Amino acid sequence: MFKIGCHLSSAGGYLAIGQTAKSIGANVFQFFTRNPRGGAAKPIDPQDVAAFNAFAAENSIGPILAHAPYTLNAAAAVESIRAFAHATMKDDLQRLEATPGALYNFHPGSHVGQGTEKGIELITGLLNDILSPAQSTTVLLETMAGKGSEVGGSFEELAQIISRTEVDAKLGVCLDTCHIWDGGYDIASNLDKVLEDFDDIIGLKRLKAIHLNDSMNPLAAHKDRHAQIGKGKIGLDALAAVVNHPLLRTLPFYLETPCDLDGYRAEIALLKSVRN
Ligand code: FE
Ligand code: FE
Ligand code: ZN
């Protein structure tokens, strides 16, 4: 089954977001666990989440992908920012137990001048503090574009984080096509080689989700500006090859393109039309 969907607003609660997904032809979706700029999460309404779980089962919707706030930075230099990262991820994972089998994506972090090695040490510290073998959610490190002091702009950095995490059974990677393109991985002319490298360095068994985005910028720009599918520098043919690739096609794909609902509906239809 082609698992395709997009980022949706969670303002109306779980059932509403599931219904919206279905209405635009999506069978997966991503949402923010709370305001992406930080702050407290809305309490979960047990009735709403139960109704959503039934709706999702009925309509084969899932896995759902929760995105951590952008302000979550375990690699920060300031202690209170690191403490926010720990508290937020812990709370998010607790809440996600209401929707078993979910994915939780986060940006590994920015080392803000402390150096990549220190950044990796702090991010690993977060994961070792939080991950538990009992949780049902799989936590995903997002591949980053490598802008500023971002950690996770190369497969090697992600591999180091994973290898230094003790409880790693529930740890995976979300590959963002715009980010790795901007990071210098040429998925347009050499997708097979990029996947070979991913497998050698991280291991394809860690790959659990794809953020499917075109990029406004050329290869290796280290910018991170998403474009609509087929309207950027990666192009429709290359993104069609991503959704059809034998090593990727069973993964869930989540669009994070600059689109309104109608735009997402059209992109999902377009991708279904190129899926073979
Ligand atoms: Fe992200
Ligand atoms: Fe992304
Ligand atoms: Zn991005």
130, 89 in Cβ contact below 8 A? yes
The rounded Å distance from CA 107 to ligand 3 centre is: 10
The rounded Å distance from CA 266 to ligand 1 centre is: 22
The rounded Å distance from CA 226 to ligand 3 centre is: 6
The rounded Å distance from CA 229 to ligand 1 centre is: 17
Ligand nearest to the CA of 224: 3
The rounded Å distance from CA 47 to ligand 2 centre is: 30
Q: What is the DSSP string of 170-207?
A: TEEEEEEHHHHHHTT--TTT-HHHHHHHHHHHT-GGGE
Core vs surface per residue 234-254: b (16+ CB within 10 A) or e: bbeebbbbbbeeeebeebbbb
- The pLDDT assigned to 40 comes to 84
The span from the CA of 271 to the CA of 253, in Å, is 10
With a CB cutoff of 8 Å and minimum separation 6, the contacts of 25 are: 4, 265, 268, 269, 272
The rounded Å distance from CA 67 to ligand 1 centre is: 7
- The pLDDT assigned to 152 comes to 98
The enclosing domain of 55 has a CATH number of 3.20.20.150
What three-state secondary structure class fits 160? helix
The span from the CA of 77 to the CA of 244, in Å, is 42
Question: Which residues is 138 bridged to in the sheet?
Answer: 103
Q: In 59-190, where does DSSP find H-type helix? A: 79-96, 116-130, 155-163, 177-182
The rounded Å distance from CA 180 to ligand 3 centre is: 10
The rounded Å distance from CA 30 to ligand 1 centre is: 10
The rounded Å distance from CA 111 to ligand 1 centre is: 17
- The pLDDT assigned to 154 comes to 98
The rounded Å distance from CA 227 to ligand 3 centre is: 10
Ligand nearest to the CA of 225: 3
The rounded Å distance from CA 224 to ligand 2 centre is: 9
Ligand nearest to the CA of 226: 3
The rounded Å distance from CA 211 to ligand 1 centre is: 8
The span from the CA of 264 to the CA of 171, in Å, is 29
pTM of the model as a whole = 0.98
- Show the domain range for 193: 4-274
- The pLDDT assigned to 110 comes to 98
Running along the chain, 276 residues long, what does each successive block of 10 average in pLDDT? 97 96 98 86 94 98 97 97 97 97 98 98 98 97 96 98 97 98 98 98 98 98 97 98 98 98 98 98
- The pLDDT assigned to 49 comes to 98
The span from the CA of 1 to the CA of 123, in Å, is 34
Size of the chain in residues: 276
Characterize the bridge pairing of strands 253-255 and 4-7: parallel
- The pLDDT assigned to 42 comes to 85
Tokens of 235: 């192009």
Residues with CB under 5 A from ligand 3 (ion): 224
Number of domains in the chain: 1
